A and B are shown apart, each in its own frame.
Chain A
Amino acid sequence: DTGVSQNPRHKITKRGQNVTFRCDPISEHNRLYWYRQTLGQGPEFLTYFQNEAQLEKSRLLSDRFSAERPKGSFSTLEIQRTEQGDSAMYLCASSLVLGQPGNQPQHFGDGTRLSIL
């Protein structure tokens, strides 16, 4: 399967713990995006990378959140000192951007569902 892969699929943790998610994009894709989706809502943008450079971060991405894409391939999203409100599905997507960025479909993984107890 050469699609976007996310691990783990589910994560249950206690409030105050740190969690880390991993995303492996489609191998030739240069852009990688993180979104958060809560029940009954559409995905909300968190951040994106062009190769290894993090080019934009949403205001939703508080200082407890950090994302990396060290070699321009896989990415990790870490949440420190988790709170109840962090419970959501965290989606990763990738795309190949050669020209106009907005004109490319994004390929999504199946997400990591985070539950904070």
Chain B
Amino acid sequence: SQQGEEDPQALSIQEGENATMNCSYKTSINNLQWYRQNSGRGLVHLILIRSNEREKHSGRLRVTLDTSKKSSSLLITASRAADTASYFCATDAEDGGSQGNLIFGKGTKLSVKP
């Protein structure tokens, strides 16, 4: 079963705009990760945020984590056409669940138009 649920399922914006994707999960976690997947390719790790962190930045990416609401958001600022991809959040399971494998949501499909 899938732990995370991304919202929205699809997002279409113009180049230069910001894109915000949200993720909700069900169980307690050690950390939450965001991945990007270009069509027909594997997943690329973007950023990891630990359960005791509230916000993390990496270049044009900003991730927030609210463990009380079991939710996270990924913000991509000043988007580019090359950001067009599917974005997935993934969690481990702190509450006696699997040791190390990731549980993915269904993803948000982002389209950035030039």
Contacts of B92 in A (CB 8 A): 101-102
Given A41-B106, A42-B88, A103-B30, are A109 and B42 also a contact pair (CB < 8 Å)?
yes
Residue B26 at the chain A interface, CB threshold 8 Å: no
B106 is contacted by which of A6, A40, A95, A106 (Cβ under 8 Å)?
Answer: A40
Instruction: Name the segment of B13-21, B63-71, B74-82, B93-101 touching the other chain.
Output: B93-101
B53 CB to closest chain A CB (Å) equals 11
Give, as a whole number of angstroms, the nearest-CB distance from A58 to chain B: 8
User: Does A31 have its Cβ within 8 Å of any Cβ on chain B?
Assistant: yes
Judge whether A107 is part of the interface by a CB distance below 8 angstroms: yes
Compute how far the CA of A79 lies from the CA of B4 in the bound complex, rounded to whole angstroms: 28
Whether A42 contacts B105 by the Cβ 8 Å rule is yes
Q: 4 more A-B contacts (CB under 8 A) besides A45-B101, A103-B30?
A: A48-B100, A102-B92, A103-B31, A109-B42
Question: Which A residues fall within an 8 A CB radius of B?
Answer: 4, 6, 31, 33, 40-45, 48, 55-56, 91, 93, 95, 97, 100-111, 113
- Residue positions of B touching A, CB distance < 8 A: 2, 4, 29-31, 33, 35, 40-45, 48, 50, 88, 90, 92-94, 98-107
A-B contact pairs, 26 of them (CB 8 A): A41-B2, A41-B107, A42-B88, A42-B104, A42-B106, A42-B107, A43-B104, A44-B104, A45-B98, A48-B100, A55-B99, A91-B43, A93-B42, A95-B100, A101-B100, A102-B29, A102-B31, A103-B30, A104-B100, A105-B45, A105-B48, A106-B43, A108-B35, A110-B41, A111-B41, A113-B40
